Amino acid sequence: MKPARIDLAWPDPKDCSILGTRVARLDGPDKSAGRAKYTYDANRPRMLWAKFATCPWGHAKVRSVDVSAVEKMPGVVTVDVIAGPGSELNVAYQEVAIVTAESEELAREAARRVKVEYDVLELYVADHDVEMAGNRAREGREAKNGDPDAALASAAVVSETEIGCSILTHCCLEPHGSVVEVTEKDGRKSVTAWCSTQAISGVAGEFAGNAGVDAGDVHAICHHMGGGFGSKFGIDSWGAWAARLAARTGRPVKVMLERDMELALAGSRPSAYGRIRVGTNDDGEIVAFDAHAWGSGGTGGGAGVNRLPYIFGGIPNTRSKVTQIATNTGGARAWRAPNHPQMCLLTMAALSDAAAELGMDEIEFFRRNLKFTDRARVYEEELRIAGELIDWKGKWKGRGEAKRGPLRRGLGLAMHTWGGGGHDSNVQCTLQPDGGVELRCGTQDLGVGARTVIGVVAAETFGLPIERITVRIGENVFPASGGSGGSTTVGGISSATRHASVQAVNQLFEAVAGELGAAPGDLAAKSGTVHVAADPSRSMPFADACRRLGTQPQVTMGRTQGSLMSSQVGGVQAAEVEVDVETGIVRVMKLVAVQDCGRIVDLLTAESQVRGALIMGVCSALYEERVMDPVTGTLLNPDLEFYKLAGIADVGELVVHMMQTPEHLGRGVIGLGEPPVIAPMAAISNAVANAVGARVKRCPMTPDRVLAALEA
């Protein structure tokens, strides 16, 4: 390879024209105009609709399945029994049969008319009650540090906290699903599959296996997707059936989950509850942390909590025990920052209660104990900024000391951390002789701006306006890129894009240096021109420079570059709430998020992602939870009327502060998918405790739970 003329390293922020600024997302116009095509929108000629018949019990054995009436229905094309007689189903809404029909209405009707008899088996869904769980509870090993019992016995003050949060679902607005078409040409079968997935580069094999073709003959497409949040990696049984049925019928098949199945089966966040004791000395320093936590993610246990405490791992005397509760509930999948929001809630609530027990200002208590975290210096700065932005000094009152009257205000804090890093990504850059620049990457945009990130990095590197960059993503035929999970996408694709673009620019410099009378290393690409860096008057338009490359497009390949990304971020969030102590209704007045994420690519979409995370946190804190029926084991709120999300008026004022000091911008790029969604539930819980003088023991803090806490 020729020696690099411009550095791979991110340019100095003060020299950047677009990197790190507020850039409107590239697919914004398509989305606002309704032109963006999602998997759900793929309509194909002669397409069949598929719908599932599902089990209404949380645990049952299938006695019989009668599809005779369905098979006779005109317009029904296929009927397949998935769970035949003798099959044991251990979660409600599991698939029993699948039908395809000429129209959506008919497929729904046909699925409803599948007659199934069940023998109902013993079932259990109460994930919150560790005492009631009996043989459904499995106690985990105790993790211990120091001597927590002795430290608690000698502590000046010991506080006790009971806190937890229910099972949530991912609730992607575009449900899970695929549209699969099998075509045959010259005796060779190939598959085109539209799939709402967080890993478009990784789904070909699954479709191939189910459709009976080679993986190389699968064209998988996900140009746009309606949310994933960690729940959409594989093609699932739904995609597999779409592939099998498309292969068998020779017709395109669309399988998109109905909302109830989506909420019951297609992704959930495990619950976590705990009893925690915190011992402190007279100076407000934590000397002991003793936690017993439990919860459930489904039939295998899978509580949403690992070792506690969260972040404050340096506390000297700790005990952490987790009990797994097996429930007949389904679909636990990675939910943004798996287990972190739950562990954050359990830890931050316990710390807040310790501060209250001491009669100490919460922000001061956190500050005094930062030495037990890994990033004390960063957190201290973030605490200071968060405190200023929410006017902590002006508004803070001790717990339960809010002004009397029905409406009580309170403040609360929480902190979080996440790793990040970047996944393995490949990006292809093509320079056309007419000056066209195209970037291709087999990544996908979950809604966070992946397409725009690639465009911004390329535009900065080529010195072009972003409108002149064409970005193509969301197809498995593009260079492979990792699945979007764990906040690793932006690190991977931004560094691979930079790598491909830098090589392309340097080759361009080689081609035009002689004509500009300078060495390639003396050139720069800026403002749509290639020019001599020291003498911008010796320049040529970018398109003219590309013409010197000859008639053939110039192609360069980039890969994820470790030197361009980092990991480990943190953030501090503060909440101000108002609680109506007569009705139990909590209103979020203001949320502040102070967040570091290393080098920022697009400030606009970064801020949007943090705001969105705050809103999701409001939902977890106040509104959303999966409600299971202890008798039938089915989901009692399988729709958006009763599976509650915050509305536009429910979220209060949102203030986002991105850390942009030279120290932070000097780091590599780190993703934001997980970090900002971790702390809001805990901060809001602490603010409510501060306002009403009592800990509401479970999130979401619905009015009944708030009133119960007030009466306790």
Partner 1 sequence: MSRLHGPEERSGVSRRNFLKGMSAGALAAGAVASPARSKAAPPAQEKGAKLLGPDPVPVTLQVNGKERRLPLEPRVTLLDALRNHLDLTGAKKVCDRATCGSCTVLLDGRAVYSCTVLAIEAQGRRIETVEGLAESQGGLARIQRCFVENDAQQCGFCTPGFVMACESFRRSHQNATREQVLDGLGGNLCRCGTYHGVTQAVLDAMGGGQ
Site residues for partner 1 per CB under 8 A: 24-25, 27-29, 31-38, 40-41, 43, 103-105, 109, 112-113, 171-174, 224-227, 229, 258-259, 446-449, 604-605, 607-609, 611-616, 623, 639-641, 644-651, 654
Lookup: tokens for 55:
């089990």
Q: What is the distance in angstroms between the CA of the first residue and the CA of the last residue of the chain?
A: 72
Query: CA–CA separation, 135 vs 647, rounded Å?
Result: 40
Element (H, E) at 385: helix 376-389
For the CB of residue 710, give the shortest distance to partner 1 in the complex, in Å: 21
Element (H, E) at 241: helix 236-249
Query: CA–CA separation, 682 vs 473, rounded Å?
Result: 36
Query: How many alpha carbons lie under 13 Å from residue 389 in its C-beta half-sphere?
Result: 23
Q: Which is nearer to partner 1, 37 or 275 (CB)?
A: 37
For the CB of residue 24, give the shortest distance to partner 1 in the complex, in Å: 5
CA distances from 485 to 212, 419, 671 (A): 29, 12, 10
For the CB of residue 482, give the shortest distance to partner 1 in the complex, in Å: 19
Q: Which is nearer to partner 1, 105 or 129 (CB)?
A: 105
Q: Which is nearer to partner 1, 72 or 185 (CB)?
A: 72
For the CB of residue 308, give the shortest distance to partner 1 in the complex, in Å: 28
Long-range pairs, 539-545, Cβ under 8 A, ≥24: 540/512, 540/515, 540/516, 541/435, 542/435, 542/462, 542/463, 542/464, 543/434, 543/435, 544/435, 545/435, 545/508, 545/511, 545/512
Q: Which is nearer to partner 1, 1 or 648 (CB)?
A: 648
Please give the radius of gyration of the chain, using alpha carbons only, rounded to the nearest integer: 28
Query: CA–CA separation, 325 vs 303, rounded Å?
Result: 7
Q: Which is nearer to partner 1, 212 or 465 (CB)?
A: 465
Q: Which is nearer to partner 1, 166 or 320 (CB)?
A: 166
Q: Buried b vs exposed e over 13-32: b needs ≥16 C-beta within 10 Å?
A: eeeeebbbeebebbbeeeee
For the CB of residue 259, give the shortest distance to partner 1 in the complex, in Å: 6
CA distances from 706 to 582, 694, 697 (A): 10, 9, 8
Q: Which is nearer to partner 1, 25 or 277 (CB)?
A: 25
Please spell the DSSP secondary structure of 643-673, one letter per residue: S----TTSS-EEEEEE--SHHHHTS-B---S
Q: Which is nearer to partner 1, 108 or 526 (CB)?
A: 108
For the CB of residue 198, give the shortest distance to partner 1 in the complex, in Å: 11
Q: Which is nearer to partner 1, 104 or 147 (CB)?
A: 104
For the CB of residue 351, give the shortest distance to partner 1 in the complex, in Å: 26
- Cis ω before 29 (30° cut-off from 0): no
Q: Which is nearer to partner 1, 104 or 162 (CB)?
A: 104
Query: CA–CA separation, 349 vs 352, rounded Å?
Result: 5
Q: Give CA angle at 494 (490, 497), nearest 5°.
A: 145
For the CB of residue 258, give the shortest distance to partner 1 in the complex, in Å: 8
For the CB of residue 92, give the shortest distance to partner 1 in the complex, in Å: 19
CA distances from 684 to 338, 411, 571, 579, 681 (A): 19, 8, 15, 11, 5
For the CB of residue 630, give the shortest distance to partner 1 in the complex, in Å: 25
